[in-house]
Structure 1
Amino acid sequence: MTLTTEFVIRSPSLPLVTLADSVPSSQFECVHGLCRERTARVFTVYFDSTDDVSEDDLSTFDEVVETTPLGHASGKDVYQLTIELEDVVADAFAPERFTASQVEPTVVTPDGWYEKKLFQNYSAFNGMRTRCEEYGIGVELVSISQNPPEDDTSSQYGLTDRQQEALTLAIGRGYYESPRQVSSEELAEEMGISQPSMSGLLRRGERQLITSALGSQPQINTLPK
């Protein structure tokens, strides 16, 4: 099972957010190697041509060590930037801590980084989030979805699509954490159903998962009188 996640990370230590605040559109895309290489310092950034960002403009930022223009692509001005990362960012994103694959370029805004990444499972994503929070980097989950198996079956555990959707949402929103981070009422509102319907989906899904794990319907033996 793999998960596609969308989330925003926020911290004053994040590179390039002050740069995003200086461009007219207040955002740009970038591709970077964080999560893959500890020494990753090279960012490829894509600015809208209408933002009219120059090499001299980029060189005024203290965190930018080196600037290399790469030309134009799809109506965007492309630069390669060598960035001086703060230690807290380099440590938080140490690649040996977790593995994730970038699905789309990072969108850098003055508010933080919008990321879309692929994780092996929810534990891998939650490990990344916990690690970031230990270093004062906030992670706000926008969406999380389970990717269908390659054999295109609805579920190897016999879940219905709605049960799988409900359970995936509940896990992603922290319903099974201790303490719970979201209520069944809030989950129901997000799915557009009633709270009793949501509770029923979760209960039947949980039972199906347990039954599948046990291999058969549990047998209840009558105690001798």
Structure 2
Amino acid sequence: MTITAEVHLRSPLLPLVSVAELPQIDEVQCPHVLGLEQGVQRFVVEIDATESLSEDQFLELDEIIEATDIGTARGKEVYKLTVVLRESVANAFEDTPDAGLVDAIRITPEGWYEQKVFKDYPAFKMFQTSCEEHGISVEILSITQDPSTSEDSVPYGLTERQYEALSLALSRGYYEQPRQTTAKELADEMDISQPSLSDLLNRAESQLISATLGPSPRLEILAQ
């Protein structure tokens, strides 16, 4: 069951956020990342800037240990930057499961915007948990499942429709505090009634609890 998630990662310690903060920078995109060794990565970045940047300007930033001006492509300057990752970021990246980058990373002073593909929802949750445990907040902008996936592959015994309702609710901030959307808005987006949406979510939540904690965990504890 392939999951595609668009996320906003927030942390001032993320690589190249310092580059995006430079006053002459309009936009930074990273279409390629290569891990060289533990804690060191090479980024190929495309930069839209009001003026050209020298390799020495990049080297003034503490995290960058090597900078090469490759040239111009699609109207943007292209650089190869070798970066030493902060320890917390290196640990977060090391602990995440394999995931494919769908599009270029957009790097801003507020963090990274990424679109990644995961083999399944648990793999995505592992990525999210690892990031948050190491101080990188993960805002889910959208999360979708491969429509060719069969119902049998939906995790935790959820039906396809229950999974769709939960994914939509999660991506729209329904489970955040305060809520970013309402049950009525979710129901309209799924083209169903609000009671039907609430029933889908209730059944899905019950199934998740049963699948992860087992049947009647409180009764089992009391019986011991």
Structure 1: which amino acid aligns with 2:2?
Answer: T
Is the 1:68–1:81 Cα contact (8 Å) retained in structure 2?
yes
- Indicate the RMSD between aligned Cα atoms, in angstroms: 3.5
TM-score by length of 1: 0.72
Partner of 2:129: 130
Aligned to 1:93: 93
The separation in 1 between residues aligned to 2:135 and 2:91, in whole angstroms, is 11
Report how far residue 163 of structure 1 moved.
5.8
TM-score, length basis structure 2: 0.73
State how far apart, in whole Å, the 1-side matches of 2:78 and 2:107 are.
14
AA aligned to 1:121 is D
Instruction: Structure 2: state its 5+ residue gaps.
Output: 207-224
Describe the shift of the 1:89–1:205 C-alpha distance in structure 2 as closer, same or farther (beyond 3 A). closer
One-letter amino acid of the counterpart of residue 63, structure 2: E
**Per-residue Cα deviation, 1:145-178 (whole angstroms, up to 9, x for no partner):** 001227xx7x568x99866632432465797xxx
Question: Runs ≥4 in structure 1, deviation > 3 angstroms?
Answer: 23-26, 36-40, 159-165, 170-175, 180-183, 200-207
**Aligned pair in 2 of structure 1 residues 12, 50: CA closer, same or farther (>3 Å)?**
closer
Residue pair 2:26, 2:48 contacting (<8 A) in 1 also:
no
Look up the match of 2:188.
192
- 1:9 & 1:109 partners in 2: Cα distance? 10
User: Partner residue of 2:65?
Assistant: 65
8 Å CA contact retained: 2:8, 2:111 = yes
Q: Paired residue for 2:104?
A: 105
Partner of 2:211: none
Q: Provide structure 1 residue ranges, at least 5 long, that are not aligned to the other structure.
A: 208-225
Q: Give deviations 1:7-44, integer Å, cap 9, x for gaps.
A: 0111121121121011445431012236x974551011
Could you tell me which residue of structure 1 aligns to residue 53 of structure 2?
Answer: 53
The match for 1:32 is 33
For residue 93 of structure 1, give the secondary structure of its aligned residue in structure 2: helix
- Structure 1 or 2, whichever has the larger Rg, is 1
Question: Structure 2 counterpart of 1:22, which letter?
Answer: L
Give the whole-Å Cα distance in 2 for the aligned partners of 1:47 and 1:14: 17
Q: Deviations over 1:27-75 (max 9, x none)?
A: 31012236x9745510111012545333232222121101111112111
* 1:173-192 matched pairs, under 5 angstroms: 181=176, 186-190=182-186, 192=188
More helix by share: 2
More strand, by proportion: 2
Counterpart CA distance in 1 for 2:51 and 2:121 is 38
Aligned residues: 200
> Percent identity of the aligned residues?
43
- Which whole-Å CA distance do the structure 2 matches of 1:181 and 1:73 have between them? 41
Retained in 2: the 8 A contact 1:21–1:27? Answer: no
SS for the counterpart of 2:164 is helix
Separation in 1, partners of 2:13, 2:39? 17
Call closer, same or farther: CA 1:190–1:76 in 2, change over 3 Å: farther
Amino acid at match of 1:92: A
